[in-house]
A and B are shown apart, each in its own frame.
Chain A
């Protein structure tokens, strides 16, 4: 009963490096979302997907790219990491009329 799984849980990057965050869900959900949360603030939507092969921009999409090649996976990429992208990243999914289910987060530090 895994739900939403995020990989990795922690990562430290140097400015300019690239990386991909993986979100996997085993609930056959159509919708998936990537949020970021900065200290003391609420979550902000980066990108989301309403189905396999589709993606859309959220509130703060700049500096990120996403892909949804498989229904169960939603990837978040940072092509050239910047210190301003230091944050906790949360993935969520939902299906139909249900609420969003969140993963435990990825803590990313960029030096």
Chain B
């Protein structure tokens, strides 16, 4: 399974867009990019996923580069409740869809 690299931590201002980068240079053609977040010690919460096209839902947007070696999660208007650890993960649906969690990015939204 491809590994991902994320910044350890980042701060962002409440009401501003938060851009979370992720590198996955060894991603293979049939692997998806997934984003989850974990607030406190709760179970991870699904945010969004994509294969090669950019995706948007009610929570966030996912921008995947054309070579698929990196992606960016965008939270359009960060709120204090978005403070969490954000995980970027690549997974292969054909291989049991196992997810390998790295250390994630600890995001602190400040007022």
Residue of A nearest to B43 (CB): A102
Cα(A87)–Cα(B68), bound, Å: 34
CA distance A97 to B87 in the complex (A): 19
What distance in Å separates the Cβ of A20 from its nearest Cβ neighbour in chain B?
19
The digit string for B35-64, where 1 denotes a CB below 8 A from any CB of A, is: 010000111111001000000000000000
Residue contact B96 to A42, C-beta cutoff 8 Å = no
Cβ-based interface call for B93 (8 A): yes
**Interface Cβ pair total, 8 Å cutoff:** 51
User: Do most interface residues of chain B lie in helix, strand or loop, or is the interface mixed?
Assistant: loop
Q: In this assembly, does A26 line the interface, its C-beta being within 8 Å of a C-beta of chain B? A: no
Whether A43 pairs with B98 at a CB distance below 8 angstroms is no
Question: Does A41 sit within 8 A of B, measured CB to CB?
Answer: yes
Tell me whether B101 and A42 are in contact (CB under 8 A): yes
Q: What are 9 of the A-B contact pairs (CB < 8 Å)?
A: A42-B87, A42-B101, A45-B99, A45-B100, A58-B98, A88-B41, A92-B43, A100-B44, A103-B43
Interface residues of B, Cβ cutoff 8 Å to A: 34, 36, 41-46, 49, 87, 93, 96-104
A31-B97, A102-B45 known, 12 other contacts, Cβ within 8 Å: A35-B101, A41-B103, A42-B101, A42-B102, A42-B103, A43-B44, A97-B93, A100-B44, A100-B46, A101-B46, A103-B43, A105-B42
